Homo-oligomer: A and B are copies of this chain.
């Protein structure tokens, strides 16, 4: 596949594996679509699926999978610890390879349009696809959950972007949109003073005047006797890992504290590593395609 978008739909079913298999089967054996991963949580009663594909193939598969979930999952009977508002709770599209965020946004809207017409399901556009600033954040959209959503949608601030003006009786409502890949990135400090990690977290995070695409918290790593600035980088192309690292290091110096290490949790796009090498080695004209593995 030359052009790859990732989709990470969250389905509100984490217990009935037979139902789940029917949804997952939609992604299997398709040309230009690949089911990479899925992970169910019984307590949350929720399954997170990771699928990659080319635009058109992914669109067809996602519309079909949404249809299968609308058919099989009944939110009026759903219990689980994780907040949820729909049978398909949220459908993010993430540009991975040779695809822009604008193309991921267009795909999200096409899927929302097709699925709303086919199944009478309403959709809120969120994140990079949001139609207004107050609708960017998933938690803000989902507040009130399935049970409160019919009432919430009477407010003109919460008219869906696609589909009917009220919830689907059993499948609720779905958030859909483009977002950048998240990078979970933590910097470990050579101190057990949580206050220092918390102060630095405040300095670097968007909420308090820091970098636009950083969420951060100070936390304790009790077993190691140190503290950590625990972060989510929500757009590594605009707020680079190395810039965040160097800023945390600089802030830590203020307290005479060393950075003892950092960690990337889970997956990171190759481009983020290329950007890091590019900065520190002062690379001239280095191109992603020079990485040997991209040729294989």
Contacts and interface: CB of A to CB of B under 8 A. Distances in A.
Interface of A: 1, 4, 34, 36, 52, 96-97, 181, 188, 241-242, 245, 259-264, 266-270, 273-274, 276-277, 280-286, 290-296
A43 B276 CA distance: 40
Contacts of A290: 264, 266-268
Contacts of A284: 188, 261-263
A245 B281 contact: yes
A260 B286 contact: no
A242 B283 CA distance: 11
Majority SS of interface residues in chain A? Answer: mixed
Contacts of A36: 295
Contacts of A245: 280-281
Contacts of A281: 241-242, 245, 262, 276
A284 to B, nearest CB: 4
Contacts of A293: 96-97, 269-270, 293-294
Given A273-B273, A273-B274, A267 B295 contact: yes
B260 A296 contact: no
Nearest to A52: B296
A256 to B, nearest CB: 18
A260 B282 contact: yes
A87 to B, nearest CB: 27
A261 B283 CA distance: 6
